[in-house]
Amino acid sequence: MNAFFFIRRNHRKNRTTAPVRFVACPISVLFLWIALALFLSGCKSPAHTVDASVDGSGPAEEENGAKATADSDLAAGSAENVGSGDLRNSSSSSAQAVPTDDDSDKSSTTDDSSDKGSNADDSSVKNNSTSDSSVKNSSTDDSPLPASSLPAPSTSGALHVSGTQLVDSKEQPVQLRGISTHGLAWFPDYVNEECFAQLRYEWNVNVIRLAMYTAESGGYCTDGDPARLKELIRDGIRFAASQDLYVIVDWHVLSEQTPNQYLEEAKTFFGEISQEFAQETHILYEICNEPNGQTSWSEIQAYARNVIPIIRANDPDAVILIGTPNWSQMVDQAAEDPLTEYDNLMYTLHFYAATHQDDLRAKMESALSLGLPIFVSEYGICDASGNGGLDFEQANAWIASLDQHNISYVAWNLSNKNESSALLRDSCTKTSGFTSEDLSASGQWLHEMLQKVHAKTAADRFTRRRIS
């Protein structure tokens, strides 16, 4: 070391002599070689060499693998969030909150003689990719979800029945959710294109039911104007088509109790309408709304066997809905003895949540288990009279069960009649362009429920697509 520093000192001073450099340089070189050897031996650690050769991946590869795992987890999580977060926010589309309880009678009434007929007795009464993006964005604004993901004539085509399910032209299960008019003779003005468009695109409705009473005051078969009523039916069919809605033509049997009382009129009516619209694929025919009183299932079968061939002669594949005894509650009787001569038949169940509860749901599920295709073509959340208190708890239980079984359902009724089942306040004089302030408590509940159910359906479809 002394020789090393001696050389450096004399080098800086320019006084190093040749003999000194001759002696010092070999010592310096030796020292450098030793230092270099020690340095190189430290770099070639056996442990480091083995680690690099065992798994063939360096730190960069491990980091990339961790990132890939995280990205995968994030993608999976985003699909779940579409369903949960958006559903929590979907209720914001209704400006007014619907109460969750009231003083309505929640007794589990199962008396089959409950008077359902009084709700009409008063004649003096006042896109797949698009759907995915809409679900993702629904948590950030209050606008209703686009209705492009709903089953509709333009995308689902002609419907038919497979097993217990309503299915589309591609054999995919379809669930219709809609609204029924009140009696066309009394509330004709709601049959207009602007109203149907709002229900389709703001309420997420995909079916409209045209309820034409037969025996009441103003009824088709009594003192009503048959030509005017048929024109309302025609208008409703055309407006539904223009707004991409399915439509139910409802022969609204009620106070006459048995559909056979006006059998010939029914055959003529359905013959004319099915012939005129034979090429349309968006029409369902409901041939007897609510047989009641002492009308038996065998009497209904006899009526159906007379009317169905009339429709089939013009429209061989249309879906036909058949009422069941006791205001369309006895689906168990139909399940035990269904009509087997024809395809594309469904059997109607009607309920009013404050009256019909667990017992009728159990009857529905039993009929389903026997293979009966069921369609709820009318329901309300009040009692069976169409009036009285609302039962939100039972209403939600019904919707959950119907959605679970993929059963279609249509709410009663589009009117401003002063009764609980009417969707509009009696002070509302509009026939379209409804706001939340125009809605009754039933209307508010229905609007909010349809938004939530549509959001959940779209989210489930998105999740299934991600998984597949």
Long-range contacts of range 332-337, CB-CB < 8 Å, 24 or more positions apart?
Answer: 332/363, 332/366, 332/367, 333/297, 334/297, 334/367, 334/372, 335/366, 335/367, 335/370, 335/371, 335/372, 336/370, 337/297, 337/301
Residue 85 included in any domain: no
Residue 115 included in any domain: no
Give me the active site residues, please: 290, 378
| Residues 29, 173 share a domain | no
Residue 12 Cα distances to 7, 16, 26, 223, 395, angstroms: 9, 9, 20, 129, 101
Residue 295 included in any domain: yes
Query: Are residues 332 and 367 in contact, defined by beta-carbon separation less than 8 angstroms?
Result: yes
Give the C-alpha separation, 311 to 448, whole Å. 37
Exposed (0-12), middle (13-18) or buried (19+): which is 318, by Cβ within 10 Å? buried
Question: Residue holding tokens 């000192």?
Answer: 9
| Residues 207, 323 share a domain | yes
Residue 283 included in any domain: yes
Query: Measuring CA to CA, which residue among 355, 312, 348 is closest to residue 333?
Result: 348
Give the C-alpha separation, 218 to 185, whole Å. 6
Query: Measuring CA to CA, which residue among 404, 391, 407 is closest to residue 456?
Result: 404
Give the C-alpha separation, 357 to 161, whole Å. 27
Residue 175 included in any domain: yes
- The domain total for the chain is 2
Tokens of 186: 């009394």
| Residues 311, 216 share a domain | yes
| Residues 139, 26 share a domain | no
Q: What pTM does this model have?
A: 0.71
Residue 458 included in any domain: yes
Residue 415 included in any domain: yes
- CATH number (domain holding residue 303): 3.20.20.80
Tell me the pLDDT of the chain (468 aa) as tens digits.
Answer: 444 333 333 333 333 334 434 344 445 545 555 555 555 554 443 333 333 333 333 333 333 333 333 333 323 333 333 232 232 233 333 333 333 333 333 333 344 434 444 333 433 333 333 333 332 333 334 444 455 679 999 999 999 999 999 999 999 999 999 999 999 999 999 999 999 999 999 999 999 999 999 999 999 999 999 999 999 999 999 999 999 999 999 999 999 999 999 999 999 999 999 999 999 999 999 999 999 999 999 999 999 999 999 999 999 999 999 999 999 999 999 999 999 999 999 999 999 999 999 999 999 999 999 999 999 999 999 999 999 999 999 999 999 999 999 999 999 999 999 999 999 999 999 999 999 999 999 999 999 999 999 988 766 654 545 555
Longest dimension (CA), the chain: 140
Tokens of 333: 């009787």
Domain with 29 in it: 2-43
Residue 403 included in any domain: yes
